[in-house]
Amino acid sequence: MSQLFTPARTRGFLRSTAAAMVLSSVLLTTGCGASDESGADAEATAAAPEGFPVTIDNCGVKTTYDKPPSRVVTIHQHPAELMLALGLKDRMAGTAFPDSAVLPELKKDYESVPELAEREPSFETVLDAEPDLVYGGYGSAFDEKEGRSRKAFADAGIDSYLNREYCGEKTVTMKDTYDEIRTIGKIFGVPDRADELVADLEDRVGKAAATVEGEPELPVFVYDSGDKSAFTAGGKSLGTELIRLAGGENVFTDLDDVFGDVSWEQVVERKPEVIAIYDYAGAGSVGEKKKFLLSQPALADVPAIRNKRFVVLPLTATLVGIRSAYAVEDLARGLHPESFR
């Protein structure tokens, strides 16, 4: 097989449009009531927004927020989209590393925030944006070798938060997505918006799952990248749960990791009927990936190849963030199109 793609190691291993726009238009609630106190105590009380201080334990790093962050740099796309869906554009000082098309309802707001770098920005570039919080999507956001460790930011007086998907070895589920949204809502003092967004996403997932309920579970192979071997989603990945909710079964559920390499012989043996292609910058286009898979003689008898059954998902849709709820419907339509007619 020709050497076309390299697995994306930089990941640390890696309806409602109306509802989202309503969320984006709500003013940030940080009001505090009048106080009869006087002096320093009265000033401290007046300065503390309702619900603060807030202490968050994120991947073993405890941070106390006396007030909502006001200048946030997001590294990777899914944290940025989550913040925008919560109506926090005015709190964003910069974004970095877009890896797929932004959700249409968030595109205008996303483009209004300065882009600091096409990939992970340098420590100095982040400092230049003068953030009070850095929100990373993949573990590589805080790469110690690149000088961007969480300690380095703390030493510079900047708080940090890492997407919970990269806090350690465990299975990632939709609950992680909902918990992530609620935690960010708490940090920014907008818990009601977070609850509303979670309810909208849960409803979206529930409707898609109900539509394909009773349909046979189709075997699905996730193709992320790779040529000598296949880089695929394992049993601990959120992608595995998305496939299950959409009426399918990941043929590599037994791979005890979020992502991993498998042999093409294993792919052939497991006879997937559908191939889910993860789409993102830096690993070849969807067209190139399809061409590669269809051109391999060893895969010719795989049902998904023989019938040219592919479902394309942006990588951001398979991560802990607002896109995962959208991915369930997209997958369900690809696996069981007859259920949506």
pLDDT at 49: 81
Q: Point out the least confidently predicted range of 89-98, 194-203, 277-286, 328-337.
A: 277-286
pLDDT at 168: 82
Contact in structure between 148 and 139 (CB atoms under 8 Å): no
User: Cis omega (within 30 of 0) on the bond before 121?
Assistant: no
- Break the chain into its structural domains and give their ranges: 48-190, 203-340
Q: What is the mean pLDDT of residues 199-211?
A: 97
pLDDT at 284: 87
- Quick check: 18 pLDDT over 70? no
Domain covering 48-190 assigned CATH 3.40.50.1980 in the classification: yes
Q: What is the mean pLDDT of residues 91-115?
A: 94
Query: What confidence category does residue 331 fall into, taking pLDDT thresholds of 50, 70 and 90?
Result: very high
Q: Is 27 helix (H, G, I), strand (E, B) or coil?
A: coil
How far is 240 from 221, CA to CA, in rounded Å? 10
Query: The tokens 């960010």 sit on which residue?
Result: 184
**pLDDT tens-digit series, residues 145-195:** 999 999 999 999 999 999 999 988 789 999 999 999 999 999 999 999 999
pLDDT at 47: 59
- Quick check: 221 pLDDT over 90? yes
- Quick check: 11 pLDDT over 80? no
What phi and psi values does residue 89 have, to the nearest 5 degrees?
Answer: -55, -40
- Quick check: 14 pLDDT over 60? no
DSSP 31-88: --------HHHHHHHHHS-TT-SEEEEETTEEEEESS--SSEEEESHHHHHHHHHTT-
Q: What average pLDDT does the structure give for the chain?
A: 88
Element holding 328 (H helix, E strand): helix 323-335
Q: Which contacts (CB < 8 Å, 24+ apart) does range 199-202 have?
A: 200/15, 200/16, 200/19, 200/20, 201/177, 201/322, 201/324, 201/325, 202/178, 202/325
Common-topology check for domains 48-190 and 203-340: yes
- Quick check: 315 pLDDT over 70? yes
Q: What is the mean pLDDT of residues 122-149?
A: 96
- Quick check: 242 pLDDT over 90? yes
Query: What confidence category does residue 270 fall into, taking pLDDT thresholds of 50, 70 and 90?
Result: very high
Determine the length of the chain.
341
**Top CATH class, 203-340:** alpha beta
pTM to 2 decimal places: 0.83
**327 against 341, higher pLDDT:** 327
**pLDDT tens-digit series, residues 19-76:** 343 344 433 333 333 334 445 444 444 556 888 999 999 999 999 999 999 999 999 9
Q: Point out the least confidently predicted range of 47-56, 234-243, 263-272.
A: 47-56
pLDDT at 16: 40
Q: What is the mean pLDDT of residues 98-125?
A: 94
Percent of the chain at pLDDT exceeding 90: 79
